[in-house]
């Protein structure tokens, strides 16, 4: 089946089998390996991407054909013009990642949360991230990071020197 | 109330809360994990698993699988036997392991065959169609039943018994006598349930046999790439120079990525035979059912004490369940790991511990999940034991501990079970914890609540662990001594590259190793690039697990840096036109003694090393150091948990948890806090919701994340952290390592708290996980008693 | 962890969806949220030959109050309900349920109607639908019908929706004034199915007695079940601790759970009672009743 999908602002046309899972389509057909696969029961959230700007979707529990005609944002689409998204910056500042495997999913679930709830309380953040598992951080610094990013997005500070993002 | 670990003094890099250098790529989805690696012509491997826990394999019919479009080959144990790969040695040396079933399946989900195909889907389609005929046999699930040897599970072994080994240390007769003479005794069975480290990234390999160069490259989720390279060479006969192991970014290890798994061997064999790259990435189900589990120790804990609460003797007798093969990656002389740390933080006059290990029809393993080589089990046993002793004596558990701690003046402390603890100040750390948590007020509150029939509990755990394996006199894995290494090369313009024999899976070595070197060399840590994991370039090391990296590689980095500094001093003397002995390193500069303004920086020296070397010296500026630690290190801590129990539903709310850790010198407090948060969350999971359980028929009941439970952000408590600093006297920077401390110390704190809450009901011990039903039932039974 | 191959059709209209379902009958499954179906397909426990994707039928993505009911269309996501302003005040039982179904990401795709059609014995929506006296609108070749929730839930994973039919909407009656409800769930962690759950809705008469009640329990049998005995105890009674206890005991008796890794029969039965008691207490306290603890 032919599908047409816009990912991180770029349009793609591809031929897929109906049973191709969206996560594998992103990773292997489009080479966007930032979206990860960590389980087989839709439990871990490492695969979360965002549909149409504000709907978090576990891409291991969706077929690529379902993405036809939609706009998808993956972790690779967060930074703009060489500048990290406030969520990415906040995760960095607050040590909200260790092995990094759950991080793309955490970022995208947080992104969808902030699209609907720009000033979430700590409890609301913990509730919103309860579909994403982490084995390294114990969540505490991730929650801090989302709080920082929410604050930043509400009242952006004057633009400082962009931090070098290449590593 | 502090929730942070404070930085050290105003040092240049050591002790700073430096943001991590590895983060930018992870934040942008540009990490390079195993499954991100795709090579031209790559094939995919899927495994076929036994539904039976114990069965003869009568026949394997490949025809239907081979007929699937895309399937290239189907491999069985028989096929591997033709290449001498049917069995592989285990790290430990007491046993060997089937790669694919040979004649028998010995646990449910054991790997029976491998299907190689041009796509993942085709491999899975093929795997579904491999037709295996089994003749089920009666499984043996309980190690106490295995002990009876009614059904012998391993007919491949010379001794026809399910008993694997016996291990003991200490003074049996003296301890038995002391226990018999004790005023007060406790004797309790304490079980640490089978659980699983379950990192979010599953295990995997891309094996690439390059026919043109004759080199086999293994991209591998490996916590110990050099050790794996050597094992592969020994097992296959391929010379080590022809094997290249690359451990890329790893999404969590926790000991899960130390063993060699059948999937690795089958993929590598397939690549060698077919001459194309072969990828195997396991599913979560395969990860939980086949790869290295953790714990499964049944421990009888006996403690003798005087009537005023001075402990006199400790005896711990353990039955260990290793599953179908003893694949636990212990150092050779330590089949039960470092379990001898079981005397914990206490000064026992005499102690004895013995352990017997058995095979059962369950997945193989035992060493994993942040256990520091069985220190988790030992720590749990002694901390539960002391708690039960306190109850029996009618003493406050904090008071009992303070009475029996090894005292500061006793360090270095030779324990009755053969360790020499390097340093510690247990009294100070526990008192700080009691003060910060407001212990006396909590006990008052508890008394008031008890009067109203409310169940509130306070649990303490004061653990000492042993890490940093280890000194070559005692420690080796497959004969390879457990040193570790660092190689540092300073570039002309003052930046540097550092390679180590360890392999981070999230611990932050790209930052912390740079901090150590930066501190020693006066360089900017942002300009020290750290590499690990590539066996072609990194110096030989034994990898990262058991909290060994800072004690071994961290030391090697300091020592390599000091070697560089010594060479640099010669160059500095040349630049300063002074005698070498007149040049000192102070304030991150080389300066002439007594003339501080006459100084050069390391950057200037580095440049000179290439442009203006001192006469009769080698140009360049680099050093390698292989560090053989003189001893283990002994991080410790005091943890306090406060819980409220809803007796109607059995739900335990962790109201507060305070962790005070002492890991000696702290390299990066932010990184240490993160490690503590993560390890406490794992301990919380183990205490309340995790187990890998097999029913009596040998069915694994916890095969995926819907049954093997990982807590979410909503269940996980908020962690309060603080520290004390008691440096290790034998480590070059006084650091001890800390990654596993939270998993070592916390389960007992949680269980002690719940038992404290249930004390008025007469409940003395419950095994983990403390599920709602378990607590509910204990409350009900107490109510009706 | 990849499904077996299947044919895929994306319906452009409801008629097209119905035609496809009529054509393929039992070989076809509807794909809406897919949050139950796709995991089953990945384990190859479900192997539909055909998937009919209805996600383009935006006209079914509504939640609207009309004619004394809250009508939730087939494509209304759990999250849409969760985010609805005023839901917590006007439909408290629904609001509390929608906050605990599955996990917060799954809820952004999963649908209320889909969950009811899947009918997992430990699912949440069936419990609330029973307590709330919901109705489901089903359409097929033979026309459209409205099925009471009690008749809709046939057995584990089986409902009144036949081959060739689609469930279009679930209707929750708008509650009269002086009504409050509560959904209580015990789960081992977020994302787990219920170990036990209970939904209760009470309406108070002017004299303070209970004018009407709906009580249901989940993870307590092959399907969620109404505790009619509890409803009868409550109806007309003055709300007291003892009445609540009697209703809770009725729930204990009515519960017929299966033992599994979440709990034994004994534990789950007791939890059914505990949760009914807590749901009733919460609802009545909200309505101003005191002395219930």
Distance between CA C147 and CA C144 in Å, rounded? 10
Handedness of CA C76, C82, C83, C89 (dihedral sign): positive
Q: Which helix (H) or strand (E) holds B611?
A: helix B602-611
Q: Is B443 found in the same domain as B417?
A: yes
Within-domain flag for B463? yes
pLDDT digits 0-9 by tens, B312-360? 999 999 999 999 999 999 999 999 999 999 999 999 999 999 999 999 9
Beta bridge partners of B528: B496
CA separation (Å) from A139 to A115, A125, A128, B650, B719? 21, 10, 12, 25, 10
Residue that finishes a domain, picked among B627, B642, B672? B627
- The contacts of residue C273 (CB under 8 Å, 6+ apart) are C248, C249, C251, C252, C255
Tokens of B757: 């809450």
Pairwise CB contact (< 8 Å): B713 & A142: yes
Contact C116, C171 (CB under 8 A): no
Has residue B1 got a pLDDT over 50? no
State the burial class of residue A156 (Cβ atoms within 10 Å of its Cβ: 0-12, 13-18, 19+).
exposed
Interface contacts (B, C; CB < 8 Å) = 46
* Apex C150 CA angle, C146 and C156, nearest 5: 110
Contact B421, B411 (CB under 8 A): yes
- The contacts of residue B131 (CB under 8 Å, 6+ apart) are B59, B60, B61, B62, B63, B64, B65
Calculate the average pLDDT of chain B. Answer: 96
* pLDDT recorded at residue B94: 81
- Least confident range from B48-57, B84-93, C131-140: namely B84-93
| Partner residue facing B772 (CB), from C103, C186, C261 | C186
Task: Kindly list the residues of chain A whose beta carbon comes within 8 Å of any beta carbon in chain C.
Answer: 1, 17-19, 21, 40-43, 45, 48, 55-58, 60-63, 65-66, 68, 109, 112, 116, 127-132
> Phi/psi at B232 (nearest 5 deg)?
-60, -40
How many CB atoms are closer than 10 A to CB C17? 24
pLDDT digits 0-9 by tens, B691-728? 999 999 999 999 999 999 999 999 999 999 999 999 99
Distance between CA C92 and CA C75 in Å, rounded? 21
What average pLDDT does the segment A126-140 reach?
A: 98
Residue that finishes a domain, picked among B627, B660, B687? B627
* Contacts with C103 from chain B: Cβ below 8 Å: 712
Q: Which helix (H) or strand (E) holds B661?
A: strand B651-662
B612/C contact by beta carbon, under 8 A: no
Pairwise CB contact (< 8 Å): A139 & B21: no
pLDDT digits 0-9 by tens, B545-583? 999 999 999 999 999 999 999 999 999 999 999 999 999
> Phi/psi at B711 (nearest 5 deg)?
-65, 150
Helix/strand/coil percentages in chain C, nearest 5: 35, 25, 40
- Per-residue burial over C60-94, b = 16 or more CB atoms within 10 Å of its CB, e = otherwise: bbebeeeeebbbbbbbbbbbbbbebeebeeebbbb
* Contacts with C4 from chain B: Cβ below 8 Å: 125
Within-domain flag for B164? no
B670/A contact by beta carbon, under 8 A: yes
Parallel/antiparallel/unpaired status of strands B131-136 and B55-61: antiparallel
Mutate to test the interface with B, among C188, C248, C276, C293 (most CBs of B within 10 A): C188
| Partner residue facing B283 (CB), from C1, C103, C270 | C1
- The contacts of residue A80 (CB under 8 Å, 6+ apart) are none
| Partner residue facing A41 (CB), from C6, C8, C39 | C39
Confidence of residue A155 (pLDDT cuts 50, 70, 90): confident
pLDDT digits 0-9 by tens, B174-219? 999 999 999 999 999 999 999 999 999 999 999 999 999 999 999 9
Which residue in C has a C-alpha nearest to residue B694's C-alpha? C261
Q: Which helix (H) or strand (E) holds B655?
A: strand B651-662
* Contacts with A116 from chain C: Cβ below 8 Å: 83
CA separation (Å) from B529 to A91, B509, C173? 22, 10, 65
What average pLDDT does the segment A7-14 reach?
A: 98
Which residue in B has a C-alpha nearest to residue C191's C-alpha? B706
Q: Is B595 found in the same domain as B550?
A: yes
How many CB atoms are closer than 10 A to CB B6? 12
* pLDDT recorded at residue A150: 98
Task: Identify the CATH number of the domain in which residue B654 sits.
Answer: 3.30.365.10
Q: Is B640 found in the same domain as B707?
A: yes
What average pLDDT does the segment B135-139 reach?
A: 97
Task: Identify the CATH number of the domain in which residue B89 sits.
Answer: 3.90.1170.50
What average pLDDT does the segment A15-21 reach?
A: 97
* Contacts with A129 from chain C: Cβ below 8 Å: 104
C4/B contact by beta carbon, under 8 A: yes
CA distance C189 to chain B (A): 6
* pLDDT recorded at residue C85: 87
Has residue B115 got a pLDDT over 50? yes
Q: Is B363 found in the same domain as B239?
A: no
Has residue A15 got a pLDDT over 50? yes
> Phi/psi at B530 (nearest 5 deg)?
-110, 130
Q: Is B451 found in the same domain as B489?
A: no
Interface contacts (A, B; CB < 8 Å) = 184
Which chains neighbour C (Cβ–Cβ under 8 Å, 3 or more pairs)?
A: A, B
What average pLDDT does the segment C135-140 reach?
A: 97
Pairwise CB contact (< 8 Å): B124 & C1: yes
C271/B contact by beta carbon, under 8 A: yes
Confidence of residue B616 (pLDDT cuts 50, 70, 90): confident
pLDDT digits 0-9 by tens, C19-35? 999 999 999 999 999 99
Q: Is B711 found in the same domain as B573?
A: no
Pairwise CB contact (< 8 Å): C2 & B124: yes
Has residue B3 got a pLDDT over 60? no
Q: Is B680 found in the same domain as B573?
A: no
CA distance C178 to chain B (A): 29
Which residue in C has a C-alpha nearest to residue A69's C-alpha? C56
* pLDDT recorded at residue B613: 86
Q: Catalytic residue among B154, B229, B295, B370, which? A: B370
Confidence of residue C93 (pLDDT cuts 50, 70, 90): very high
CA distance A15 to chain C (A): 14
Whose CA is closest to B455, among B642, B640, B647, B641? Answer: B647
CA atoms within 13 A on the CB side of B584: 8
Q: Is B336 found in the same domain as B276?
A: no
What average pLDDT does the segment B38-54 reach?
A: 98
Tokens of B578: 């002074």
CA distance C244 to chain A (A): 31
Q: Is B592 found in the same domain as B640?
A: no
Distance between CA B507 and CA B530 in Å, rounded? 13
Contact B760, B658 (CB under 8 A): no
Has residue A165 got a pLDDT over 60? no
Has residue C203 got a pLDDT over 50? yes
Which residue in C has a C-alpha nearest to residue B775's C-alpha? C267
* Contacts with B677 from chain A: Cβ below 8 Å: 137-141
The structure tokens 């990435």 sit at: B281
* Contacts with B283 from chain C: Cβ below 8 Å: 1
CA separation (Å) from C208 to B278, B440, B542, C190? 73, 47, 74, 37
Please say if B370 is a catalytic residue.
yes
pLDDT digits 0-9 by tens, A35-84? 999 999 999 999 999 999 999 999 999 999 999 999 999 999 999 999 99
Please say if B777 is a catalytic residue.
no
Listed as own residue / partner, the contacts of B40-43 with beta carbons closer than 8 Å and 24 or more positions apart are: B40/B277, B41/B276, B41/B277, B42/B206, B42/B276, B42/B277, B42/B278, B42/B279, B43/B72, B43/B116, B43/B117, B43/B118, B43/B270, B43/B274, B43/B276, B43/B277, B43/B278, B43/B279
CA distance A69 to chain B (A): 24
Has residue B594 got a pLDDT over 50? yes
Pairwise CB contact (< 8 Å): C190 & B714: yes
Within-domain flag for B195? no
Within-domain flag for B7? no
Confidence of residue B614 (pLDDT cuts 50, 70, 90): confident
* Contacts with B514 from chain A: Cβ below 8 Å: none
Q: Is B573 found in the same domain as B681?
A: no
Parallel/antiparallel/unpaired status of strands C50-53 and C153-155: unpaired
Which residue in A has a C-alpha nearest to residue C55's C-alpha? A66
Confidence of residue A167 (pLDDT cuts 50, 70, 90): very low
pLDDT digits 0-9 by tens, B401-435? 999 999 999 999 999 999 999 999 999 999 999 99
Confidence of residue A158 (pLDDT cuts 50, 70, 90): low
Contact B614, B579 (CB under 8 A): no
Distance between CA C46 and CA A54 in Å, rounded? 30
CA distance B712 to chain C (A): 7
The structure tokens 């409800």 sit at: C181
Contact B53, B141 (CB under 8 A): yes
B128/C contact by beta carbon, under 8 A: yes
Tokens of B262: 């059948």
Which chains neighbour B (Cβ–Cβ under 8 Å, 3 or more pairs)?
A: A, C
Distance between CA B660 and CA B668 in Å, rounded? 16
Within-domain flag for B414? yes
Whose CA is closest to C26, among C43, C46, C45? Answer: C46
* pLDDT recorded at residue B4: 63
Within-domain flag for B3? no
Mutate to test the interface with B, among C4, C41, C195, C261 (most CBs of B within 10 A): C261
> Phi/psi at B175 (nearest 5 deg)?
-70, -45
Q: Is B589 found in the same domain as B516?
A: yes
Pairwise CB contact (< 8 Å): C55 & A66: yes
What average pLDDT does the segment C77-91 reach?
A: 93
| Partner residue facing C261 (CB), from B125, B701, B772 | B701
Contact B405, B346 (CB under 8 A): yes
Three-state SS at B63: helix
Confidence of residue A166 (pLDDT cuts 50, 70, 90): very low
Pairwise CB contact (< 8 Å): A99 & B201: yes
Pairwise CB contact (< 8 Å): B120 & A24: yes
Q: If you ran DSSP here, which 8-state letter would residue B687 be given?
A: H
Distance between CA C277 and CA C200 in Å, rounded? 9
Pairwise CB contact (< 8 Å): B121 & C103: no
Range of the domain at B745: 294-468+631-784
Q: Is B261 found in the same domain as B315?
A: no
pLDDT digits 0-9 by tens, B355-414? 999 999 999 999 999 999 999 999 999 999 999 999 999 999 999 999 999 999 999 999
Within-domain flag for B143? no
What average pLDDT does the segment A128-133 reach?
A: 98
* pLDDT recorded at residue A157: 62
pLDDT digits 0-9 by tens, A83-119? 999 999 999 999 999 999 999 999 999 999 999 999 9
What is the ipTM metric for this complex?
A: 0.97
Within-domain flag for B9? no
Pairwise CB contact (< 8 Å): B715 & C189: yes
Three-state SS at C251: helix
Residue that finishes a domain, picked among B233, B265, B290? B290
Number of independent structural domains in chain B: 3
B119/C contact by beta carbon, under 8 A: no
Q: Catalytic residue among B101, B371, B663, B779, which? A: B371
* Contacts with B679 from chain A: Cβ below 8 Å: 138
CA distance A55 to chain C (A): 6
């Amino acid at each position: 089946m032919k599908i047409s999908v816009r990912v991180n602002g770029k349009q793609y046309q591809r031929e897929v089998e109906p049973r191709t899972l969206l996560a594998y389509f992103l990773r292997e057909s489009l080479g966007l390996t930032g979206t990860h696969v960590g389980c087989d029961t839709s439990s871990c959230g490492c695969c979360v991407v965002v549909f149409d700007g504000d709907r978090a979707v576990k891409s291991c529990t969706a077929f690529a054909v379902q993405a036809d005609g939609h706009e998808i944002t993956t972790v690779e689409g967060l930074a703009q013009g060489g500048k990290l998204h406030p969520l990415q910056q906040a995760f960095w500042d607050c040590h909200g990642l260790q092995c990094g495997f759950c991080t793309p999913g955490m970022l995208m679930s947080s992104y969808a949360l902030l699209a609907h709830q720009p000033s979430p309380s700590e409890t609301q953040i913990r509730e919103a991230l309860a579909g994403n598992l982490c084995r390294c951080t114990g969540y505490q610094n991730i929650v801090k990071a989302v709080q920082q990013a929410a604050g930043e997005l509400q009242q952006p500070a004057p633009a400082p020197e962009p931090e070098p993002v290449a590593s | 109330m502090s929730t942070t670990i404070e930085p050290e003094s105003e040092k240049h890099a050591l002790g700073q809360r430096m943001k991590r250098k590895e983060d930018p790529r992870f934040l942008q989805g540009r990490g390079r994990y195993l499954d991100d690696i795709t090579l031209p012509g790559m094939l995919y491997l899927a495994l076929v698993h036994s539904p039976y826990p114990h069965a003869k394999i009568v026949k394997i019919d490949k025809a239907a699988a081979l007929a699937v479009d895309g399937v290239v080959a189907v491999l069985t144990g028989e096929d591997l036997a033709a290449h001498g790969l049917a069995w592989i040695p285990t790290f430990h040396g007491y046993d060997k392991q089937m790669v694919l079933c040979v004649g028998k399946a010995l646990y449910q989900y054991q790997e029976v065959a491998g299907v190689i195909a041009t796509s993942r889907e085709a491999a899975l389609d093929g795997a579904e169609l491999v037709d295996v005929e089994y003749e089920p046999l009666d499984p043996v699930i309980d190690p106490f039943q295995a002990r009876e040897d009614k059904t012998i599970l391993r007919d491949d072994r010379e001794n026809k018994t399910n008993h694997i080994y016996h291990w003991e240390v200490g003074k049996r007769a003296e301890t038995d006598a002391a226990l018999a003479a004790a005023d007060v005794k406790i004797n309790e069975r304490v079980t640490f349930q089978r659980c699983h480290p379950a990192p979010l990234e599953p295990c995997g390999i891309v094996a690439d046999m390059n026919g043109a160069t004759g080199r086999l490259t293994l991209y591998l989720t490996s916590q110990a790439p050099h050790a794996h390279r050597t094992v592969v060479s020994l097992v296959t006969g391929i010379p080590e120079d022809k094997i290249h192991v690359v451990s890329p970014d790893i999404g969590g290890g926790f000991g899960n990525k130390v063993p060699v798994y059948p999937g690795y061997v089958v993929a590598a064999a397939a690549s060698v035979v077919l001459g194309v790259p072969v990828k195997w990435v396991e599913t979560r189900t395969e990860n939980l059912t086949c790869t290295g589990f953790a714990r499964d120790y049944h421990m009888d804990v006996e403690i003798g004490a005087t009537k005023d609460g001075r402990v006199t003797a400790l005896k711990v007798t353990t039955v260990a369940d290793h599953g179908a093969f003893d694949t636990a990656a212990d150092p050779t002389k330590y089949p039960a790991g470092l379990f001898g740390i079981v005397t914990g933080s206490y000064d026992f006059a005499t102690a004895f511990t013995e352990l017997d290990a058995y095979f059962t029809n369950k997945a193989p393993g035992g060493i994993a999940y942040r256990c520091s080589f069985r220190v988790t089990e030992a720590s749990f046993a002694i901390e539960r034991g002391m708690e039960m002793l306190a109850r029996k004596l009618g003493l406050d558990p904090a008071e009992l501990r303070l009475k029996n701690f090894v005292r500061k003046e006793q360090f270095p402390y030779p324990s009755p079970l053969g360790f020499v603890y390097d340093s510690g100040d247990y009294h100070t750390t526990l008192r700080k914890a009691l003060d910060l948590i407001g212990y006396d007020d909590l006990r008052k509150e508890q008394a008031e609540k008890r009067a109203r029939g409310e169940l509130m509990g306070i649990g303490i755990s004061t653990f000492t662990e042993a890490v940093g394996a280890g000194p070559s006199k005692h420690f080796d894995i497959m004969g390879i001594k457990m040193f570790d290494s660092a190689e540092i090369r300073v570039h002309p313009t003052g930046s540097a590259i550092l390679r180590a024999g360890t392999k981070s899976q999230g611990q932050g070595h790209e930052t912390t190793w740079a901090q150590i070197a930066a501190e020693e060399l006066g360089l900017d840590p942002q300009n020290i690039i750290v590499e690990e994991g590539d066996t072609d370039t990194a110096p030989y090391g034994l990898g990262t697990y058991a909290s060994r990296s800072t004690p071994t590689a961290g030391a090697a980095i300091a020592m390599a840096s000091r070697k560089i500094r010594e060479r640099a001093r010669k160059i500095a003397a040349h630049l300063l036109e002074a005698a070498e002995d007149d040049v000192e390193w102070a304030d991150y500069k080389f300066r002439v003694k007594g003339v501080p303004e006459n100084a050069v920086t390391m950057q200037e020296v580095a440049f000179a090393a290439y442009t203006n070397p001192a006469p009769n010296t080698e140009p360049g500026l680099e050093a390698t150091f292989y560090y053989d630690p003189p001893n283990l290190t002994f991080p410790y801590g005091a943890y306090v948990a406060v819980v409220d129990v809803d007796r109607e539903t059995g739900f335990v709310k962790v109201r507060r948890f305070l962790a005070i850790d002492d890991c000696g010198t702290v390299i990066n407090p932010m990184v240490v806090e993160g490690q503590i948060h993560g390890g406490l969350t794992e301990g919380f999971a183990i205490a309340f919701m995790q187990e890998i359980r097999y029913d009596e028929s040998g069915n694994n009941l916890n095969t995926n994340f819907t049954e093997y439970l990982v807590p979410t952000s909503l269940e996980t408590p908020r962690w309060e952290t603080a520290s004390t600093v008691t440096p290790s006297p034998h480590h070059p920077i006084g650091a001890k390592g800390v990654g596993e401390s939270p998993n070592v110390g916390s389960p007992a704190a949680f269980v002690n708290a719940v038992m404290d809450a249930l004390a008025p009901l007469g409940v003395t011990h419950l095994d983990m996980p403390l599920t709602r039903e378990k607590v509910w039932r204990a409350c009900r039974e107490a109510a009706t008693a | 962890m990849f499904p077996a191959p299947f044919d895929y059709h994306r319906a452009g209209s409801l008629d097209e969806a119905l035609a496809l379902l009529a054509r393929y009958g039992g070989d076809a499954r509807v794909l809406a949220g897919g949050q139950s179906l796709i995991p089953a397909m990945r384990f190859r426990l479900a192997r539909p030959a055909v998937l009919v994707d209805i996600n383009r039928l935006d006209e079914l993505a509504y939640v609207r109050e009309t004619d004394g009911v809250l009508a939730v269309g087939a494509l209304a996501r759990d999250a849409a309900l969760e985010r609805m302003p005023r839901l917590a005040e006007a439909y408290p039982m629904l609001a509390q349920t929608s906050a605990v179904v599955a996990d917060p990401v799954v809820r952004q795709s999963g649908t209320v109607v889909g969950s009811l059609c899947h009918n997992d014995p430990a699912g949440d929506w069936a419990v609330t639908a029973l307590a709330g006296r919901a109705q489901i609108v089903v359409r097929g070749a033979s026309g459209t019908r409205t099925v009471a929730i009690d008749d809709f839930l046939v057995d584990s994973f089986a409902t009144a929706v036949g081959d060739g039919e689609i469930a279009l909407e679930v209707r929750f009656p708008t509650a009269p004034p002086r009504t409050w409800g509560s959904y209580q769930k015990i789960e081992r962690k977020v994302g787990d199915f219920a170990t036990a759950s209970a939904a209760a809705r009470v309406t108070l008469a002017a004299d303070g007695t209970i004018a009407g009640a709906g009580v249901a329990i989940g993870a307590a049998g092959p399907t969620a079940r109404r505790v009619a005995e509890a409803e009868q105890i409550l109806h007309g009674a003055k709300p007291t601790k003892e009445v609540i206890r009697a209703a809770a005991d009725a729930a204990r008796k009515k519960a017929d759970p299966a033992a599994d890794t979440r709990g034994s029969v004994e534990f789950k039965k007791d939890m059914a009672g505990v949760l009914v008691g807590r749901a009733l207490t919460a609802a009545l306290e909200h309505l101003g009743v005191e002395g219930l603890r």
